[in-house]
Amino acid sequence: MHHVDTNIVLRYLLQDIPEQTQTATDLFDTNEMHVSYEVLAETVYVLISVYKAKRAAVSQQLQEFLVSSGVLVKDPDVIWQALVLFGATRFDFVDCVLAARSQIEGAEIHTFDKDLRKLLDQSVQGAKQL
């Protein structure tokens, strides 16, 4: 089982360092590469904070990445919905994953965050106020 870190994903997406881009591309072209939630969250963070990418563009780019051959994620429906929410709202990616998990799996999410609770209340199961 092959896993990648954030730097591999960034080089693949940004294609900004030729020798690293080629290595990253070769990895995804020749293997099924597992991309964890943590790596996706850090990728979103770096694209937004370091590269100043727009939320909608990050959402779109990562959705395209997810349908690439060689990319495997746990709970792809949850991640897809989280990316859709991320592109359409002001919530951070982790909050969008929680909301997506609530919507898709019916997970009951507990939070102190009033804004997140509002987002969750719009989903199927909602949030429990603590």
| pLDDT of 126 above 60 | no
pLDDT value of residue 123: 65
Name residue 109's beta-bridge partners: 127
pLDDT band at 121 (very low <50, low <70, confident <90, very high): confident
CA-CA distance, 127 to 130, in Å (whole number)?
9
**What confidence score (pLDDT) does residue 99 get?**
96
Give residue 125's pLDDT band: very low, low, confident or very high (50, 70, 90). Answer: very low
CA distances from 33 to 13, 46, 58, 90, 112 (A): 14, 20, 20, 29, 35
Instruction: Give the confidence band of 127 by pLDDT, cuts at 50, 70, 90.
Output: very low
What does the pLDDT read at residue 4? Answer: 97
Phi, psi of 71 (to 5 degrees): -105, 125
Average pLDDT in the 92-117 region?
Answer: 95
Cα distance between residue 86 and residue 88, in whole Å: 5
**Of 34, 12, 130, 38, which is closest to residue 93 (Cα–Cα)?**
38
pLDDT above 90 covers a percentage of the chain that reads: 89
